[in-house]
Amino acid sequence: MQDGARPRRTEKVFRFLDEYFGNKVIALDYPKFTGTGMDWPPYSPDLTPCDYFLWGALKDTVYGNHPSTLDELELAICVACNSISIETMKDVIRVAVI
């Protein structure tokens, strides 16, 4: 949204999200259009644990192996996600709540 454009919240976009992700979508006005999913919580923080921890940790692990095909990339992402311990995730979430 750096360009000032409004988020894409049309029925067509929501139908696409619903088709591929079902009730796992969290988005502003999503439940109004589909009757499923979860509305984006008001006053949610700009940065989430995914923003300040997960993406960087996964990127370092995944691209450190230099995958050259989509299958290798998918496998590297799965391995990287599975390598993050429950304790690490609890620590990250604990810090986010403070």
| Tokens at 82, concatenated | 């599975």
Q: 70-83 and 55-64 are packed helices; what angle lies between their axes, rounded to 10 degrees? A: 130
| pTM of the full structure | 0.47
Separation between Cα atoms, residue 68 and residue 76, nearest integer Å: 11
Separation between Cα atoms, residue 17 and residue 40, nearest integer Å: 14
Which position has the higher pLDDT, 97 or 31? Answer: 31
Convert the pLDDT of each residue in 43-54 to its tens digit. 555 567 777 778
Convert the pLDDT of each residue in 66-93 to its tens digit. 899 999 999 999 999 898 888 888 887 7
Mean pLDDT of the chain: 76
| The predicted structure's pLDDT at residue 75 | 93
Instruction: Give yes or no for a contact between 20 and 31, defined as CB atoms under 8 angstroms apart.
Output: no
Mean pLDDT of 7-35: 74
